[in-house]
Structure 1
Amino acid sequence: MSNWGRWGTEDEAGTLNLLGPQAVLAAVREVRDGRVVSLAQPIGPSTSVPPHRHPPRRFMDRDAGDYALGARSPDGFRFAEDTVTLASHTGTHLDALGHAWTGDELYNGHPAASVRSTRGAGRCGADKLRPVVTRGVLLDLVAARGRALAPSAPVTADDLEAECRRIGVTPRAGDAVLLRTGWWETHGGAPAYHDDEPGLTGEAAAWLAERDVALVGADNYAVEVQPSPPGTTFPAHLTLLHQHGIPMLENLDLTELGSLAAPAFLFVAAPLLLEGSTASPLHPLAVV
Structure 2
Amino acid sequence: MPEQDDVDAVSEFGNWGRWGTGDERGAANLLTPTVVLEAFKAVREGTTLSLALPIQGATSGPGASRVPHLAGRPLPQHFMSMDGGDYAAGTGRIKGEMSVADDALIVSPHGTTTHIDALAHMWRNDVLFNGHSANRVRSYGATRCGIDKLGPLITRGVMLDVARHLGVPHLAASTRIDDQLLADTAESAGVEVRAGDVVLVRTGWAAVFAQDPEKYNDEQPGLCHSGGKWLVERDVVAIGSDNIAVGALDPGGVFHGSVDEDIHMLTLWEHGVSLIEMLWLEELSHTERVEFLFVAAPLPIVGGTASPINPVVVL
TM-score (norm 1): 0.94
CA distance in 2, matches of 1:248, 1:72: 44
* 2:173–2:220 Cα contact (<8 Å) kept: yes
Runs of 4+ in 1 over 3 A off after TM superposition: 64-67, 69-73, 228-234
CA distance in 2, matches of 1:158, 1:111: 36
Instruction: Report the CA distance between 1:225 and its aligned residue.
Output: 0.6
**Which runs of 5 or more structure 1 residues have no equivalent in the other structure?**
none
- After TM superposition, the structure 1 stretch with the greater mean CA deviation from structure 2, 57-66 or 37-46, is 57-66
Q: RMSD between aligned alpha carbons?
A: 1.9
1:163 aligned onto 2:192: no
Instruction: Report the CA distance between 1:173 and its aligned residue.
Output: 0.4
- Written as runs of structure 1 = structure 2, the 5 A alignment for 1:18-167 is 18-45=30-57, 46=64, 47-64=67-84, 72-89=93-110, 90-117=112-139, 119-147=140-168, 148-167=170-189
Higher RCO structure (Cα 8 Å, ≥6 apart): 1
Instruction: Report the CA distance between 1:124 and its aligned residue.
Output: 0.7
1:285 paired residue number? 312
- Written as runs of structure 1 = structure 2, the 5 A alignment for 1:128-277 is 128-147=149-168, 148-187=170-209, 190-227=213-250, 228-232=255-259, 235-277=262-304
1:8 paired residue number? 20
Instruction: Report the CA distance between 1:232 and its aligned residue.
Output: 3.7
Deviations 1:177-229 (A, max 9, x none): 00000000223582432321100001111111100000100011000011234
Q: What is the percent sequence identity of the aligned residues?
A: 43
Deviations 1:34-73 (A, max 9, x none): 1101111111121453344211111211124799x96643
* 1:205–1:240 Cα contact (<8 Å) kept: yes
How many residue pairs are counted as aligned between the two chains?
A: 286
Distance 1:53 1:284, change over 3 A: same
**Which runs of 5 or more structure 2 residues have no equivalent in the other structure?**
1-12, 58-63
* 1:23–1:134 Cα contact (<8 Å) kept: yes
3-state SS of paired residue (2:99): coil
Deviations 1:120-157 (A, max 9, x none): 11111111111011000000012111111001310000
Deviations 1:79-136 (A, max 9, x none): 000111110223110000000111110000000111111x111111111111011000
CA distance in 2, matches of 1:71, 1:19: 45
One-letter code aligned to 1:138? M
